[in-house]
Amino acid sequence: MCNASDILQSSVLFWTLSFIPATILPYLALGLLSTSFIIYGLRYSCPAVTLDRLENTITAVEDSILIHAKAKCMRDYLALVEAETRFLRTKLAVSRLHSRLLEARSMSGWKNYLRAILTISRALAMLEREVRDIQTSLLVLIEAAQQESI
């Protein structure tokens, strides 16, 4: 059901749009689209979001893949222990970066804050690669154990 205020608002909108030349609309749409992509990119690479994503990946590796690898890969115990040690070191490094990120929020001076955030972002990117590498090595161990049992 339409009421009078909806009709009035839509007619005012169309009346206002009629004054905008037709040649500017594609540029306006392109500007809005590029602005939204830039905002999405900045939001995706924000250290807090990256840290949350990394912690979720660590939880997934710890809760499922590592437990499954411990149950299946007892023949290749040395490789399993090495992967678990790497995983625990990475988990400790993520925890330290989390505390550094919390400390950076209370820093005085925007130059120090920006320098700390850039350093933390680089370290988080390295740790994301490390967690993916550990995850891949654990999955390879599980696959090798399943191939040996066949």
Q: What percent of the chain has pLDDT over 70?
A: 89
What pLDDT digit, counting tens, does each position of 21-79 carry? 667 777 777 888 888 888 888 787 788 899 999 999 999 999 999 999 999 888 888 99
Query: What's at 1, amino acid-wise?
Result: M
Which of 42, 58, 62 minimizes the C-alpha distance to 128? 58
- Taking the whole predicted model, whether its pTM rises above 0.75 is answered as no
- Cα gap 89→104, rounded to integer Å: 22
Whole-number pLDDT of residue 8 = 60
